[in-house]
């Protein structure tokens, strides 16, 4: 009976393609993959949950470090936070020249960096652990769950739209509503009335391009990293059933280790790039054409 059960389990096991598709499908309000590029009726519950969880975790860690901070020799956590604070502060000073604006922009940039770093770091968790726990809780062996919020285009574009709204706010605050409207119709080609439509179209394209590229850059890197981890996991899963199993297992361990080390750089670098672009776009909102 046990042999028959084993053969049945193997026969019912998902193919490599089915495994990847399942892991790339969100737990959302529809119960299936999002079909349209834009569909506001679909809410990816897993992206929302893990985004909020990492945000709360980041706030808690920063609060604990601030509460226990000492003027003497700092501990490792305090030293790490101070390094990040100094890095963000120096970048903000170099890009946003208004000291008044930096009072809000500096903390915003720090929040962006820490939050995205924590969300990206979810990719380091073993691929099947949380999805398997979720399947056990729900009793559904086909339940969907994705744990990397930044590998969801909806999440990254949501953050980039948030940055866009901040930029619009500073455009109006610094230049005044009338001044900003004037700039929309007179830059970059000049103030001739015949150029108003062209100038306005170029300004809209610029805002759109910045926002889309801002979100797409983060999503593309994290999605690709998640997919590579899946392929490496499949390599490890295939080793037991092939004549070249030992080599597949060795390749799985070596490739997994190398990619994990390289991915540490990607996780930190993508958080830094998103933060820097946030500062650059807000800094541009302070400048008149």
267 burial level (CB within 10 Å; 0-12, 13-18, 19+): buried
Whether residue 50 contacts residue 147, with contact meaning beta carbons closer than 8 Å, is answered with yes
Can you read off the two tokens belonging to residue 38?
């834009």
Residues 6+ apart with CB under 8 A from 151: 123, 219, 222, 223, 225, 226
199 burial level (CB within 10 Å; 0-12, 13-18, 19+): buried
Can you read off the two tokens belonging to residue 23?
């892991």
**Helix-helix angle 99-121:76-95, to 10 degrees:** 130
Q: From the candidates 68, 191, 213, 257, give the one annotated as an active-site residue.
A: 213
Q: From the candidates 89, 98, 121, 217, give the one annotated as an active-site residue.
A: 217
Q: Does 71 qualify as catalytic in the annotation?
A: no
| Bridge partners, 28 (sequence order) | 44
Which position has the token pair 């949950």? Answer: 49
Nearest to 167 by CA among 281, 50, 19: 281
R_g of the chain computed on alpha carbons: 24
- Nearest-angstrom CA–CA distance, 86 and 161: 27
Q: Does 191 qualify as catalytic in the annotation?
A: no
| Bridge partners, 44 (sequence order) | 28
Q: Does 102 qualify as catalytic in the annotation?
A: no
Whether residue 286 contacts residue 99, with contact meaning beta carbons closer than 8 Å, is answered with no
Q: Which residues are catalytic?
A: 213, 217, 221
């Amino acid at each position: 009976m046990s042999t028959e059960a084993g053969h049945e389990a193997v026969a019912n096991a998902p193919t490599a393609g089915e495994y990847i598709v399942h892991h790339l499908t969100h737990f959302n309000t529809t119960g299936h993959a999002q079909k349209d590029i834009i569909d506001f009726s679909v809410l990816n519950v897993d992206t929302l949950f893990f985004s909020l969880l990492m945000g709360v975790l980041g706030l808690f860690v920063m609060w604990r470090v601030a509460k226990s901070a000492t003027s003497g020799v700092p501990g490792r956590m305090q030293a790490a936070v101070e390094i990040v604070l100094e890095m963000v502060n120096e970048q903000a000073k170099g890009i946003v020249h208004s000291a008044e604006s930096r009072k809000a922009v500096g903390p915003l940039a720090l929040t962006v960096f820490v939050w995205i770093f924590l969300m990206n770091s979810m990719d380091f968790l073993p691929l099947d652990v949380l999805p398997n726990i979720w399947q056990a809780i729900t009793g559904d062996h086909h339940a969907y769950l994705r744990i990397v919020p930044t590998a969801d285009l909806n999440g990254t574009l949501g953050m980039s739209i948030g940055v866009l709204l901040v930029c619009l706010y500073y455009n109006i605050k610094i230049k005044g509503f009338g001044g900003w409207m004037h700039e929309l119709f007179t830059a970059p080609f000049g103030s001739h009335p015949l150029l108003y439509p062209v100038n306005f179209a170029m300004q809209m394209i610029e805002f759109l391009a910045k926002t889309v590229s801002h979100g797409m850059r983060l999503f593309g890197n994290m999605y690709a990293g998640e997919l590579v981890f899946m392929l490496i996991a499949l390599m490890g899963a295939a080793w037991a059933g092939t004549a070249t199993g030992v080599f597949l297992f060795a390749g799985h361990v070596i490739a997994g280790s190398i990619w994990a080390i390289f991915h540490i750089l990607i996780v930190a670098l993508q958080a830094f790039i998103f933060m820097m672009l946030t500062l650059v776009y807000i800094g541009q909102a302070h400048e008149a054409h």
